[in-house]
C-alpha cells in the first residue's frame, strides 16, 4: 500500500479580504454606536406594541425606578439646562459655584433632589456614588404645595424650554401609587399629553 504523503504547505492565509470586511463592520458599528445617556438608576421599561420613536432633543425625562424613586432630567437643547438651573436656584435660594453649574449643565438625569443638589455637585466621584445609593429621589405628591418638589422641577424645565415634551420612563415593577402622583402633578402643571417609554415587544 502506498504511503500517503501529506504535503507540507504554508498555513498562512491571505487575510486582506477578511481584514476589509472586519473594518467595514467596525466602521459601521462605530458610526451607529451612540453613547448611552447616563442615568443614576437602572430602569427596566415594560414592553408594548406601540412603534412611535422617541425624539432625541427637547425632552424632559422623568425616571421612576423599581422602588418608586423619582428623578428628572432634560437635554441641553438651546442651553436650556443653564436656564433650568437658574430657575431652580433662584426659587430655592441656592448659591452654586461655577464648577457646580457646569457640572449640572453637562450632566444627564439628576440623581438627587434639590436638598442634596449643592452637596452632590460639589463632591467627588465616590461621595457622589454614595449619595446616589442613599438618595430618596425627588419628593412627589398630588398637591401643589411646596412638599411636591417635582412640580417645581417641571415648572422650571418648561420655562427653560417651552418646546420640551415630557417622557416618563418608569420601571415595569414601579408601584402605581407613584405613577399616579407623577401623572397628577403633570396634569396640575397643564401637561395633559406625555409619553410613556416602552421597549418594543410582540404581544400576540
What residues make contact with another protein under the rule CB under 8 A?
10, 12-16, 18-19, 22-23, 25-26, 29-30, 32-34, 36, 45-46, 48-54, 64, 167, 169-180, 183, 186-187, 190, 192-200, 203-204
CB 91 within 8 A of CB 146: no
We find the least distance from the C-beta atom of residue 177 to another protein, in angstroms, to be: 4
We find the least distance from the C-beta atom of residue 171 to another protein, in angstroms, to be: 7
Element (H, E) at 168: strand 165-170
We find the least distance from the C-beta atom of residue 160 to another protein, in angstroms, to be: 22
Q: Which of 140, 130, 134, 138 is nearest to 109 (CA)?
A: 138
We find the least distance from the C-beta atom of residue 191 to another protein, in angstroms, to be: 8
For another protein, the closer of residues 92 and 194 by Cβ is 194
Say how far apart CA 189 and CA 119 lie, in whole Å: 28
For another protein, the closer of residues 4 and 200 by Cβ is 200
We find the least distance from the C-beta atom of residue 46 to another protein, in angstroms, to be: 4
For another protein, the closer of residues 12 and 126 by Cβ is 12
Q: How far is CA 186 from CA 75, 140, 165, 168, 194, in A?
A: 18, 11, 11, 10, 9
Q: Counting every residue, how long is the chain?
A: 204
Terminal-to-terminal C-alpha distance of the chain: 66
For another protein, the closer of residues 123 and 142 by Cβ is 142
For another protein, the closer of residues 99 and 163 by Cβ is 163
We find the least distance from the C-beta atom of residue 200 to another protein, in angstroms, to be: 5
Say how far apart CA 55 and CA 160 lie, in whole Å: 18
Give SS3 for 39: coil
For another protein, the closer of residues 119 and 180 by Cβ is 180
Query: Whose grid coordinates read 420613536?
Result: 53
Amino acid at each position: 500500500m502506498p504511503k500517503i504523503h501529506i504535503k507540507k504547505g504554508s498555513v498562512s492565509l491571505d487575510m486582506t479580504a477578511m481584514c476589509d470586511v472586519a473594518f467595514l463592520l467596525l466602521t459601521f458599528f462605530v458610526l451607529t454606536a451612540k453613547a448611552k445617556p447616563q442615568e443614576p438608576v437602572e430602569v427596566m421599561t415594560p414592553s408594548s406594541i406601540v412603534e412611535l420613536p422617541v425624539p432625541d432633543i427637547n425632552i424632559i425625562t422623568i425616571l421612576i425606578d423599581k422602588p418608586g424613586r423619582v428623578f428628572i432630567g432634560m437635554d441641553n437643547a438651546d442651553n436650556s439646562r443653564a436656564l433650568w438651573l437658574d430657575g431652580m436656584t433662584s426659587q430655592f435660594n441656592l448659591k452654586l459655584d461655577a464648577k457646580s453649574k457646569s457640572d449640572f449643565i453637562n450632566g444627564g438625569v439628576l440623581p438627587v433632589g434639590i436638598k442634596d443638589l449643592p452637596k452632590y455637585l460639589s463632591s467627588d466621584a465616590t461621595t457622589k456614588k454614595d449619595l446616589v445609593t442613599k438618595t430618596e429621589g425627588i419628593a412627589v405628591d398630588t398637591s401643589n404645595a411646596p412638599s411636591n418638589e417635582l412640580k417645581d422641577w417641571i415648572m422650571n424645565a418648561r420655562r427653560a424650554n417651552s418646546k420640551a415634551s415630557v417622557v416618563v420612563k418608569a420601571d415595569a415593577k414601579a408601584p402605581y401609587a407613584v405613577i399616579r402622583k407623577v401623572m397628577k402633578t403633570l396634569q396640575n402643571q397643564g401637561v395633559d399629553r406625555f409619553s410613556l417609554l416602552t421597549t418594543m415587544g410582540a404581544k400576540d
